[in-house]
Each structure stands twice: as structure tokens, then as C-alpha cells.
Amino acid sequence: IPTDDDDDDRGDDDIREDALIEEPAAVPLDILFVIDNSAGMADAQRVLAEELDGFVDRLAGGQPRSVQVMFTTTDIGHPMCTDFQPHDYEPAMGAPIATGCHERIDRFTGLGSDPERREDACTSVCPVDVVPMDPFVAFDTGTWTNNVVPDRQERADVVAALACLLPQGIDGCGYEAPLEAMAQALGPSEPWNSGERPFMRDGADLAVVIVSNEADCSTSDYAAIYDEQYWNENPHSAGPTPSSAMCWNMGASCVGPDPSGTYSGCVSADGPLHPVQRYRDVLAARRERGKRVSMLALTGVPRVSLWSNEAPWTPVAGGLDGLIYRNWLLADLFDDEIKSGENTEDMTWEFGIAPGCTVHSGDLVGTRALPSPRIFDTCASLDEGDELNCCVASLCGDYDDALRCLVGVSEP
């Protein structure tokens, strides 16, 4: 029969054991989303925002993490876009966009005389604006403390704020510069990275998510955009004219094409663009502090046909390994483009290389994305031996799997 003394002894032992058990510290992780806000990105933004609920769950599935998430756009300004900007629009230049998408609802009307209107990319995922107190969303996956509704430690508030911030609109510059936007967003002297509550914390791991449907156009020498060697032949004029194809022509070097229109290989190039090494160095500087740096690129590659069934859940088949650099085919065009009289020559003039993926039906119908060797190379530079830190996935689908890959490669 237990005695009172036995109870007291057991209580003392329990207290001593409890004192030795400490809750694991939340490992800090700063996540930067660089979102393409140009034409054709509405559905990608909407569907990606829908997947943030599962993304937050995956972040909470392992060791507790202190997470900060910042959003910016791929628009750093470009002379070819200035004259077409809406009067109330300013390129983000890497700065955080921390207002809800309802406050920015005009951004979901495209450019031109008969603009596309896609307010649904905001309203379907964000019924009413929910925003953080800082230029980023901050939360702890162990306690759900957050800077959205600090008195209420609710996971739902975090998910709602992320879904309201991610959609960035479709009236941004079509000369996307995701790598330079990333570099500017991560600038240590920027106001959002300094002060008492910086986005980039000294002790934090870093993850970057680039979401874009065209080749990187991070230009260093803007005089070159008037150099006809980077222009493609315009089928409706008597020679070459400027278009966003110059981004591909400046940023990639290819062998070919062969008679079938296929290139045997394309690699990143610098030319008038900022050197890719510039962006490798930006990320390497963070890693040299002993912190893990990872990246997810959602861009122009085929959909991944097989993902690893164990951490870090990286692509096994398809995706970047299945990418074929080639000229445009009629199958790459959407029905409305064909009906309006556009053809492969028009697309070659406008974009250069053919898309790595095209969606003709389903939630992402109308989504099309070009490959970007400069982004691929920057991402691949993060892999170290057997330690994988880079995920490249398709803008044309499987966002949940892609975000799971990001969680896998960013685990401490």
C-alpha cells in the first residue's frame, strides 16, 4: 500500500525529471516570396494562395519554427514598361508588399486598351483583408503566436494573412527580374531588414520562393535593350523590333536548333544582364554565416512526374530533367490566340524560346511559363554534395508537392 511518503518521493522525482526536459527551441526561418505580377499570372497566384494552408501545416509538422514570410514582386522597373504603367503604380524594387489584396484590387486589372480583369485571384482566397502588423507575417509553429492577431494565438489568422498578401496582381512589368528583386529584398541595409524587427534575422535560415512565367531579365546595362542583336524578327514589320524575347536572348546561350527545332543545350548567360554570380554571392553570404539557405523556383519546366517519397521530397522524374529547349509549336498556343490570328512566328517574336509548360484545361488553364537557365543555375548553386537545398518545379501545377519540397530542403 503506497504511503504519503511514497507519494511525496514520486512527486520529487517527477519534478526533477521535468526539470531536465526542455521544450525544443523554435528554429528561425525567414521565407521570401518573389511573385511575378505580370500578365498571365492570375491563376498561378490564386492556386498558390490556396495551397498555403497545407504549407503552414507542413512547416508545423517538424521541429518548432519561428517563421517570417515576406512578399515582393518581380518588378524592379524597366524602360520598356515605364510608359505603360498605371498612374498609381510603382515597381516594388524588392520592397515588401504587406497590404491586403483588396486594398490593391486595382492591381488585378491588366494593361492595354481592353484589359483583363482578374479580381477573383484576390477575392476567392481572401474574403476580407487580413494583414500583419509588420511588413511580413511572423508566427511560431509551436505556439501559434503571431503578428496578425497577437492576442489570439490562432493558426487560421496566419493562413488568412498569407493568402491575402500572396496575390500581387497582373499589371506589373513583363520584363521580369526575379533575381534582382530577390537581391534587393535581401539587402542588409534596407529598412525592412534593420531596426528592432527586421525581416532578415541574424540567426535565421533563409528560404526563397521565385514564382515567374518568363526568363529572368535582371538588366545591368539598359542601353543594350536598344541593340537590335537582342531583338527578334517581328512578322508584322520589316525587321526586328523590341519585345520581352530580348530577356531570353540576353540571358541564355544555346546550341542549335536542329532541323526539328530543338536545341541540344541552353545555359545561362550574362551579357547586358547582371552576372548570375551576383545572385549566387547574395545567397552564399547568408550561408557563410552558418545558416541554411534553400530555394524553390516555380517556373517554366514540365510538371514533375515523380516526387521522392521521403524527405526532402525532391523531384525524381520530369520537371527540370524533362525540359526540352525548342522553338514554338502550334500546340503551345491557346485557342483564343489562334482564333485571333496569332501563330508561332508571333510567339517567337514576343517571347523567344518556347514554353517549358502550358496548361490548356483545369484550374490553371491559360498558364504558360518559359524556362529560365539563370534561375536554375542560381538555385542549383545552393546544393552542397548530398545536401539538397534547391527545388525546381513547374508553374503549371503540383504546387502542394513543390511547397513540400521547399519544407524538406529547408528543414534544420
Question: For residue 405, is it within any domain?
Answer: yes
Percent pLDDT > 90 in the chain is 90
Phi and psi angles of residue 144, each rounded to the nearest 5 degrees, phi first: 60, 20
Per DSSP bridges, beta strands 252-255 and 265-268 are antiparallel
Average pLDDT (108-130) is 97
Calpha distance 166→217 (Å, rounded) = 22
Calpha distance 67→138 (Å, rounded) = 6
Give Cα separations from 8 to 3, 18, 20, 82, 348 (angstroms).
9, 15, 19, 77, 82
Question: For residue 296, is it within any domain?
Answer: yes
Report pLDDT digits (tens) over 56-93: 999 999 899 999 999 999 999 999 999 999 999 999 99
Instruction: Quote the domain boundaries for residue 177.
Output: 26-220+272-324+367-409
Question: For residue 178, is it within any domain?
Answer: yes
Question: For residue 258, is it within any domain?
Answer: no
Distance, first Cα to last Cα, the chain = 49
Question: For residue 17, is it within any domain?
Answer: no
Phi and psi angles of residue 314, each rounded to the nearest 5 degrees, phi first: -85, 165
Res 18 pLDDT > 90:
no
Res 13 pLDDT > 60:
no
Res 351 pLDDT > 60:
yes
DSSP assigned state of 70: E
Res 170 pLDDT > 60:
yes
Task: Write down the pTM of the prediction.
Answer: 0.94
Report pLDDT digits (tens) over 191-218: 999 999 999 999 899 999 999 999 999 9
Q: Which residue has the higher pLDDT, 350 or 24?
A: 350
Question: For residue 313, is it within any domain?
Answer: yes
Domain count along the chain: 1
Question: For residue 144, is it within any domain?
Answer: yes
Other Cβ atoms less than 10 A from the Cβ of 371: the count is 26
Question: For residue 255, is it within any domain?
Answer: no
Calpha distance 316→319 (Å, rounded) = 8
Can you give the CATH number for the domain in which 292 is found?
3.40.50.410
Res. 4 pLDDT band, cuts 50 70 90:
low
